[in-house]
Structure 1
Amino acid sequence: MNIQQLRYVVATAEHGSMTAAAAALFVAQPALSRAVRQLERELDLALFARAGRGVALTPAGETFVHRARAALGSIDRLRTTASADQDSAPLVIAASPTLQAALAIPILAGLREHGARIHARLLGASSSAEVAELVAAGRADLGLCDSAVSAEPAGLVRVAIGRAEVRLYSPAGLDLPDRVTFADLAAVPLVLPTAGSDRRASLDAFFEGCGITPEVAVETDERHAWLAAVSSGVASCLWHSLDPRRAPLPGVVSRGFDPPMHRTLVAVQRGADERAVSRHLLEVLRQVGELVA
């Protein structure tokens, strides 16, 4: 889901047809229709039903549009605040390398496309616990986490922002079904975090719970090397996906699990943080999370 799709859905609801909405937004009607239908498939919801020569909102669509308007209002406020705050210190966002690539960069890119030009600095962290500690200590304004923090520091505001699917990314040509089981992982060489790291401990516990012993092909904490190893045909890896339909690199095949596996995404911020840009961004994340839910 992206901001453009929210604007398309709200405009369609306001104008009563996709043709009129496209004319009002100065976009091609087929492009608007594809974006709206793609969003419906992604959410597994019918937002519109045919009504004469136009469309009308379904009950689910009514709820979605109400929340989408609120999210777009927050994005507009963020854009105004970011423009007025251009010369201030950068907004520091703490996240694991995976979430920097899978969540932080797409968020910033989407906001930039719609006028909210945030000067951000990404701060790496090895675990969700470290992300929370960086935010609590004032070294980061906002943190992005993909797992629960067992001992979350006091004074933090915690906001759920949706779920990311965990998928298996493999070299093209690997003989695997379209949807893999956890047992299939036993026969696939994997790239994993280094032994002794928090991430590796979490994955080792997962493998033990599945009753499998993984074949470790590469150990590295440099996440950019993970997908490089996959595209080079060396190994497969487990990776978050906010867009399951898209493979991250040529020659890489993305497969979901059966049953599907997800990680809850959470943003954390100091409750006493007075930076308007940080507050507005957290509100945008909260409202977009409600839309996904």
Structure 2
Amino acid sequence: MDLLLQHVINAVSLGGTYALLSLGLAIVFSIIGLINFAHGELMTAAGYTIFFMLAAGVSLPLAIVFAIVAVAILAMGIERVAFRPMRKADMTGLLITSFAMSMILQAFFQNAIGARPRAVAMPEALSGVVNLGSVHLGIIPLMSISITVVALVALNLFLKHTVMGITMRAAAEDIDVVRLLGLKAGRVVATSFAVSGVLAATAAFLWVAQRGSVDPLMGFVPVLKAFVATIVGGLGSLTGAVAGGMLLGIVEVLAQVVLPPSMVEFRDAFVLGFVILLLLVRPQGLLPAPTGRRS
């Protein structure tokens, strides 16, 4: 029973990280129909920001806040420089631009900082455990779950109780109507990128806290899995993105536990096999968006 609880905590912690990344992808997709594969590099940028801030002696909370602000600004800059000029391009053009931005940022990190992983000096307090009777739960997984819950609640309040949040929800339904109402669609799109940057930076901290290092390709695998989670949940559906991320995290940890040691290295293959079977049954995803838009 104790071991089961530890596995549940680990699954929810990993699933929460995927959920935050999936939400960032889903918010942008729901408004402009673009899967932003440079989202992983936003995560990497946040990881490096936290690394350099901690190395400079800045406290961890301040380093996280600075990373969130910096990556939100970077996300809006990418939208302004790379995606806004391509606004009228077809899906293929947008995807090529997305991949190009991802490659450019990866090359920048590798040449400006270095290709080797950098160890991130997290406070020693985060390496401790919470003892609940005979159960020993890590501080980092528990903190990951707490931060994920807070981030999801904050995003829900933003989307439902602020003017910009309501406008973003309207744009997700039909951005052309938003333009006809005289609202600035460009500002809505820029805000969606900023929100995705905030989510990427939050997920980056959780990922770095668990890995203890950052490297130029850090964001590639988690964002690829977040993309899979977005598809499983239903492209363009914010609720589906959370559900897909959580499900993927649970299945991944379950595969780690159930598979024999000789098969653990094929864990991702089994997880993707499960995803394929699920999509055969639910091709539109678990909770598809009302508009049903897919690429």
Name which one, 1 or 2, has greater alpha-carbon Rg.
1
> TM (normalized to structure 1)?
0.23
Larger proportion of strand: 1
Report the structure, 1 or 2, having the larger helix content: 2
